[in-house]
Amino acid sequence: MNILTSPTFIEALSLFGTATGFVYIILQYKAHPWFWYVSLFTALPMLYVNAVQGNYATAILFLYYAVVTLMVLFEKFAQSRKTGKAQPAFVIVHTPTRFYLPLLIAFLALTAAFFFGIEHFKALIPEQFRPINYYVQMLDSSMTALSFVSMWMLKKNYLECWIGWIVVNLGYTLLYLLLANWSLAANFAFWLLVACFGLPKWKRLMKEQQHTEKPTLN
pLDDT tens digits, one per residue of 170-193:
999 998 898 888 877 887 898 899
Per-residue pLDDT at 211 exceeds 60: yes
CA gap 165, 152 in Å, rounded: 12
Low-confidence winner among 4-8, 10-14, 25-29 (lowest mean pLDDT): 4-8
CA gap 40, 116 in Å, rounded: 28
CA gap 4, 7 in Å, rounded: 9
Higher pLDDT, residue 106 or 85: 106
Look up residue 125 and give its DSSP letter. S
Q: What is the mean pLDDT of the chain?
A: 84
Per-residue pLDDT at 127 exceeds 70: no
Low-confidence winner among 23-27, 85-89, 105-109, 114-118 (lowest mean pLDDT): 85-89
| Residue 136 burial (C-beta neighbours within 10 Å; 0-12, 13-18, 19+) | middle
Please say whether the beta carbons of 56 and 115 come within 8 A: no
Question: Percent of the chain at pLDDT above 90?
Answer: 30
What SS3 class is residue 158?
A: strand
Look at residues 198, 212, 214, 184 and name the one whose alpha carbon lies nearest to residue 32.
Answer: 198
Which of the given ranges, 6-20, 68-82, 114-128, has the highest pLDDT on average? 6-20
